[in-house]
Amino acid sequence: MDQKKPTEAGISFFEKNLTVWVALCMVTGIVIGKFLPIIPEFLTRFEYAKVSIPIAVLIWLMIYPMMMKVDFTSLKNVRREPQGLYVTWVVNWLIKPFSMFGIASLFFYYIFGALIEPALAKEYVAGGVILGAAPCTAMVFVWSHLTRGNPAYTVIQVATNDLIILVAFVPIVVLLLGITGVSIPWDTLFLSVFLFVVIPLAGGIWTRRHVLKQYGEAYFHDRFLPKFNNLTIVGLLLTLVLIFSFQGGIILANPLHILLIAIPLILQTFLIFFIAYGISRKLRLCHDVAAPAGMIGASNFFELAVAVAITIFGASSPVVLVTIVGVLVEVPVMLALVRFANKTKHWFPARSQPPSA
């Protein structure tokens, strides 16, 4: 992997006030869904296995620039620093689903017990568990990019996470919720992994090899990569407009419960990030591994969570509402964590050599 030059200059226009841009895009999406519903209705036609093709394309645009930075000759060096993978696996699968179940139960059954009737609380807990059992696959590449994470290492963290999802997701949901006959939309899962990891990774590898072969390293790093500096952020903002245009009606119809659901989800996000980030600091991992490790656990695979909730409980279920609120709160919270991670880079040892060495 190569990180020869910081890329702040090319994306400063968006990054300087990224939180404001995110808020504007979320509001824009809700307004479109409310007053121009024909647009999201038209776009929902382009869907396969409950995966929105327009959103998939935008996520691809977000991930593609980072994938071009991956030097696959460096992947063999991941074994020299396996602790980052261990942190990712332990936090995502032995801590996160169970902490989400505990926090959701505490808030929905007890703290908010006077505001939420028991039957509804049970469904909100179910939504929280489904969300908590689906760690991030796609958006984590954006958070890794914003924290100057190691692209090659992030790919391995995400890829191994996806393999664990295949065998661990359903048993954990069944265990925590006691639901019998839970089925997972496997076509959704496999298609999501293919769209959000395999395609952009293959495209990035091909582009990198082609440009390096034709024009050399100096051109690739100094002139070619900077052309894509804004693409990740623009893709993120357009994705938010689409997501919130699809779900704007549900959000506007449930303002109080949106707030009640958001509180435990936000607490869970901060908790999981600081657990992973703190363990990484204890292990003295480098920041470009520690930051993505924290981001993967803190963020969620919302495409899978929404699809599973709809498949099991139906599109109008309160369970689905929880997964949608997860999307609502994730981006602003993750941006705050990105800022925190960037400001605390000095907590971690500096690399004595580039990650790809």
Half-sphere exposure of 154 (CA within 13 A, CB side): 35
Q: Which residue has the tokens 């265990």?
A: 175
- pLDDT for 82-98, tens place per residue? 888 899 899 999 999 99
pLDDT reported for residue 225: 82
Q: Which residues contact 16 (CB under 8 A, 6 or more apart)?
A: none
pLDDT reported for residue 6: 38
Name beta bridge partners: 300: 135
Average pLDDT of the residues of the chain? 80
Q: Could you please state the CATH topology (level 3) that the domain comprising 8-343 is classified under.
A: Na+/H+ antiporter like fold (1.20.1530)
Token digits for 19?
Answer: 């939180």
Whether the per-residue pLDDT at 78 is higher than 50: the answer is yes
Whether the per-residue pLDDT at 346 is higher than 60: the answer is yes
- pLDDT for 135-186, tens place per residue? 877 678 788 888 888 887 888 887 787 778 777 887 888 888 776 455 556 6
- pLDDT for 222-280, tens place per residue? 889 888 877 777 877 887 788 778 877 777 877 888 889 999 999 999 999 999 999 99
Model confidence band, residue 5 (pLDDT cutoffs 50, 70, 90): very low
Model confidence band, residue 41 (pLDDT cutoffs 50, 70, 90): confident
> What whole-number distance in Å separates Cα of residue 129 and Cα of residue 354?
39
> What whole-number distance in Å separates Cα of residue 264 and Cα of residue 241?
24
Contacts for 12-18: CB closer than 8 Å, 24+ residues apart: 13/230, 14/230, 14/233, 14/234, 14/237, 15/146, 15/233, 18/233, 18/335
> What Rg value do the Cα atoms of the chain yield, rounded?
20
Nearest-CA neighbor of 243 among 21, 26, 19?
26
Which range, of 10-14, 87-91, 103-107, 225-229, averages the lowest pLDDT?
A: 10-14
pLDDT reported for residue 152: 78
Residue 331 burial (10 A CB sphere; 0-12, 13-18, 19+)? buried
More confident residue, 327 or 109: 109
Contact 303, 188 (CB under 8 A): yes
> What whole-number distance in Å separates Cα of residue 176 and Cα of residue 173?
5
Whether the per-residue pLDDT at 354 is higher than 70: the answer is no
pLDDT reported for residue 9: 38
CA distances from 239 to 214, 275, 289 (A): 33, 29, 26
Task: Decide: pTM greater than 0.75.
Answer: no
What backbone phi and psi angles, to 5 degrees, belong to 136? Answer: -65, 145
Per cent of the chain over pLDDT 70 is 81
Model confidence band, residue 75 (pLDDT cutoffs 50, 70, 90): low
> What whole-number distance in Å separates Cα of residue 357 and Cα of residue 32?
48
- Classify each residue of 22-60 as buried b or exposed e, where b means 16 or more C-beta atoms within 10 Å of its C-beta: beebbebbbebbeeeeebbeebeeeeeebbbebbbbbbb
Whether the per-residue pLDDT at 119 is higher than 70: the answer is yes
